[in-house]
Structure 1
Amino acid sequence: MSTHADSKPWTVPALRQAKQAGQKLVMLTCYDYGFARTLDAAGVDLILIGDSLGMVVQGHDSTLPVTVEAMVYHTRIVARGLARALLVADLPFQADATRERALVASTQLLQVGAQMVKLEGAGHKLEVIRFLAERDIPVCSHLGLTPQSVLSFGGYRVQGREEAAAEKLLADAIAVANAGASLLVLECVPSALAARITAAVDIPTIGIGAGAQCDGQVLVLHDLLGLEMGHRRPKFVKDFLAEGGSVAGAVRAYAAAVREGSFPDAAHSY
């Protein structure tokens, strides 16, 4: 499959084909129509409407205050700007607490343009993933540092450093894939562990602070552009605007670096 912006639109089955072909996937967050058009034209493969909007758009200290209504609003306007990229939308905090709540929220998101929903964690979420997948709702799982669990974690910390934690994360990754997830985001996971997970599952992995061996990468758009949002900048963040010269140039530089495997390097990994 071509990686140029004028190629055919991405589909869920095409993601697995990309993994099998060794084609790196490029993902970025987006929250409005104008940036959606820019990212789509620059060749981004997947757009994530992340509940990160709670922090970078709404100014909260975490993602917890984000509502389903906010996600629906941003999904609708981003979808209008896309011709090629596959659109993934987050299920915000507690929207996936039960199968029924997840189904209602996911249906709303798909009806306004999302092609996949993302939910955090494994455990009881396996039942939710299976329930949605059986009802033809594509699911992206999110493991490692899951921002909606920030209170339980006691902050934003790398996950899976100890052997027992690493083995549990590997088992969780296999479990979400078996439950029917079509994509897996790994956040703040040691590179060696992320590589093991990527080899162990047949669905694509998307890393953010998880090393270069994942099947693709994602960054928050505001981080890629070097915007100061009042929060500590994570190690995995790189300012691509400095070398890209423009927003579109920064996105193209990021996409090229992901596809050629030069980002993330050791300085941007754990």
Structure 2
Amino acid sequence: MAKNNGKQFELLVKVIYEEIIAQDSVESVEVKHDVSLLGKSGQEHQIDVYWSFKIGGEIMQVAIECKDYKSAVSVGRIRDFWGALDDIGNIKGIFVTTKGYQSGAITFAEHHKIALKTVQEPTEAELNPEGVIQEILVNGSLFGIYNSKVMPKFDLAWIVENTALKEGDPFSLRGRNDQIKIMDSNFEVLGTILDYENRLPRSPENSNDLKYRFEFSDGYLFAPESFEKPLKIEHIDFTYDTFTHQMHSAMNLKLTADAVLKDITTGEAFLYNKSAANSSI
């Protein structure tokens, strides 16, 4: 996390909370920077980061004080922030800094229900906790086919009896293997030529001119680009080659983040990735 001046730190906190709110699926909430709110005393209070939303008929407000200090925040700073919150009224306060808080500041904040957060560079332990799988290795073999040729055996007696084709008439079989279908007499599709190719045995491995036959007692081949109606078939013969491909891959599951927002009391942490930040930061 690069060093920020005061405004940059405020904008960083703003986009972190924009991402948190987006992940919580809270709709129609605009996180604003550098907002002035009028207190009951008539005093204007400058709020670094602010948002509000309506729930159950009530307006809920959140104010964040951002301080990029070189040392731990003192109780006086928290007391000043609480004074502004008390004057505004009906508002939740969050204090965010970089170096932590003095013990008196923590005690005072807990009493007045002010959330204390820090934004720092994430540690390796926060990014990748002990016991969490950080890498998956995949080793295996892919068994495939290529150079596939298909030869259907038509029921010539049925074709002569049920179509205008006569024995010896030429016709061609055209179409993609995922378009040519095999169906039964009820026109239920049994599969495409591609489906049957995928069912071909992959063994023996790395072999040529393998042969396999699919028999059909009630099968009809339909090629929309070749003929108007399905033609009865007896079987389909495939000739094909097989190959084996060895696979070795690694999947890195380690997390990356530019900053971590951590709650001082609960220890709850939110990892922030800069890719979601405003380009002006």
TM-score by length of 1: 0.32
- Structure with bigger helix share is 1
Which structure's CA Rg is the greater one? Answer: 2
TM-score by length of 2: 0.31
- Structure with bigger strand share is 2
